[in-house]
């Protein structure tokens, strides 16, 4: 009986939602979100750096990985247009 090495982890299907549209991205648990962000922005037809990504109310940083954040197969990530420019009144 053969067993897989312990460092081989199954891929995760991440559901990424933007304005009611959803895509699924298949990634390894140790994939940095930089690559995931690029794939999502491309699939939604947006420029790189356009979105901010949120998981369970917390912003995801591009250096994070799904494993570090405890993200599991079929979990949902929400993305929103990044607010840039404008005046600050503080």
Q: Which residues of the chain have pLDDT under 70?
A: 1-9, 84-90
* pTM as predicted: 0.79
Task: Please return the burial class of 71, using the count of CB atoms within 10 Å of its CB with bins 0-12, 13-18 and 19+.
Answer: buried
**What pLDDT, on a 0 to 100 scale, did the predictor assign at position 57?**
95
**What pLDDT, on a 0 to 100 scale, did the predictor assign at position 10?**
83
**Domain ranges for the chain:** 12-81
**What pLDDT, on a 0 to 100 scale, did the predictor assign at position 82?**
80
Does the domain at 12-81 match CATH 3.10.20.90? Answer given as yes
**What pLDDT, on a 0 to 100 scale, did the predictor assign at position 2?**
47
Q: Model confidence over 16-41: pLDDT tens digits? A: 999 999 999 999 999 999 999 999 99
């Amino acid at each position: 009986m053969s067993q897989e090495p312990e460092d081989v982890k199954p891929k995760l299907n991440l559901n990424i939602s933007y304005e009611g549209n959803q895509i699924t991205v298949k990634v390894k648990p140790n994939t940095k979100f930089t690559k995931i962000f690029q794939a999502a922005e491309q699939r939604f037809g947006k420029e790189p750096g356009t979105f901010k990504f949120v998981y369970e109310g917390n912003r995801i940083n591009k250096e994070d990985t799904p494993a570090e954040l405890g993200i599991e197969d079929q979990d949902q990530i929400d993305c929103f247009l990044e607010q840039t420019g404008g005046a600050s009144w503080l």
